[in-house]
């Protein structure tokens, strides 16, 4: 048995699977190409913009929402209100942010639990619904304003540049609310327009966004 044959045999199991010892830095460094389709495509989630609040009346994304991506994802982290028990919201625009008044229909529900463990709740919330309304959509209810209170979550907006269909969205938020409770909130709906959506605005119903970041990602 030659040297190459012995080396190969020593690095493969009886079932024909390569052992970890079969691979080292040198073996990978010598790879010059990989056949098409043998590895999953990378770069599926692309960070497009990050905005940080500092006593901000609202945060808007007025560029970058176009036909490049079929899905846009907004991750909001540690969104802290200036007033206690406020509602974090968003609205959409078809004119680059001149107006945030797109007609929406939506629904929502949440589960809730408090620190003393005496008030667990899971319920449909009609106050989260919109019915052919141009109002802002609630995505974070009753966010507390104590120093350690905030809300975080993810909003997905699907195919906003399509001019044939309505534009769907879904949201999930975790909220440290006033009265020391956690809310796990879900929303879903659609912007009832066939016009391209090209801007989005986030704000609280009353007061400023004192702190927090919002990131916009494009999903390939």
Q: Report if residue 40 sits inside a domain.
A: no
Residue 22 has pLDDT above 70, yes or no: no
Length of the chain: 220
Residue 33 has pLDDT above 70, yes or no: no
Per-residue model confidence as pLDDT tens digits over 128-166: 999 999 999 999 999 999 999 999 999 999 999 999 999
pLDDT score, position 171: 98
Per-residue model confidence as pLDDT tens digits over 158-170: 999 999 999 999 9
pLDDT score, position 37: 53
Burial of 110 (0-12, 13-18, 19+ CB in 10 A): buried
Q: Report if residue 38 sits inside a domain.
A: no
Q: Report if residue 17 sits inside a domain.
A: yes
Residue 211 has pLDDT above 80, yes or no: yes
Burial of 23 (0-12, 13-18, 19+ CB in 10 A): exposed
Q: Report if residue 215 sits inside a domain.
A: yes
Residue 50 has pLDDT above 70, yes or no: yes
What is the residue-wise DSSP string for 39-91? S--S--EEEEEEEE-SSBS-EEE-SS-STT-SEEEEEEEEEEESSTTEEEEEE
pTM exceeds 0.75 for this model:
yes
CATH number for the domain harbouring residue 174:
2.60.120
Helix (H, G, I), strand (E, B) or coil at 171: strand
Give the number of domains in the chain: 2
Q: Report the share of the chain in percent with pLDDT over 90.
A: 77
16 and 121 assigned to the same domain:
no
26 and 58 assigned to the same domain:
no
Per the CB < 8 A criterion, the answer to whether 137 and 107 are in contact is no
Q: Report if residue 145 sits inside a domain.
A: yes
Strand (E) or helix (H) holding 5: helix 3-10
Q: What is the extent of the structural domain holding 207?
A: 45-219
Residue 42 has pLDDT above 90, yes or no: no
Cα–Cα distances (Å) from 25 to 7, 18, 30, 137, in that order, read 17, 16, 9, 52
Q: Report if residue 188 sits inside a domain.
A: yes
SS3 content of the chain, % helix, strand, coil (to 5): 10, 50, 45
Over residues 88-97, the mean pLDDT reads: 98
């Amino acid at each position: 048995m030659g040297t190459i044959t012995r080396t190969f045999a020593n690095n493969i199991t009886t079932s024909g699977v390569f052992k970890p010892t079969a691979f080292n830095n040198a073996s990978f460094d010598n790879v010059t190409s990989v056949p098409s389709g043998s590895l999953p495509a990378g770069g599926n989630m692309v960070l497009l913009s990050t905005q940080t609040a500092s006593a901000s009346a609202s945060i808007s994304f007025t560029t970058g929402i176009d036909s490049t991506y079929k899905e846009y994802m907004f991750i909001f982290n540690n969104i802290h209100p200036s007033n206690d028990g406020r509602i974090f919201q968003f609205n959409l625009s078809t004119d680059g942010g001149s107006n945030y008044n797109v007609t929406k229909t939506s629904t929502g529900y949440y589960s809730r639990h408090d620190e003393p463990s005496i008030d667990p709740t899971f319920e449909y919330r009609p106050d989260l619904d919109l019915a052919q309304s141009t109002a802002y959509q609630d995505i974070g209810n009753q966010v507390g304003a104590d120093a350690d209170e905030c809300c975080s979550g993810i909003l997905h907006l699907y195919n906003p540049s399509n001019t044939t269909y309505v534009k769907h969205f879904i949201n999930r938020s975790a909220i440290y609310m006033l009265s020391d409770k956690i809310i796990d909130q879900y929303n879903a709906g659609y912007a009832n327009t066939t016009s391209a959506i090209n801007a989005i605005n986030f704000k609280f119903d009353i007061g400023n966004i004192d702190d927090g970041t919002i990131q916009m990602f494009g999903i390939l």
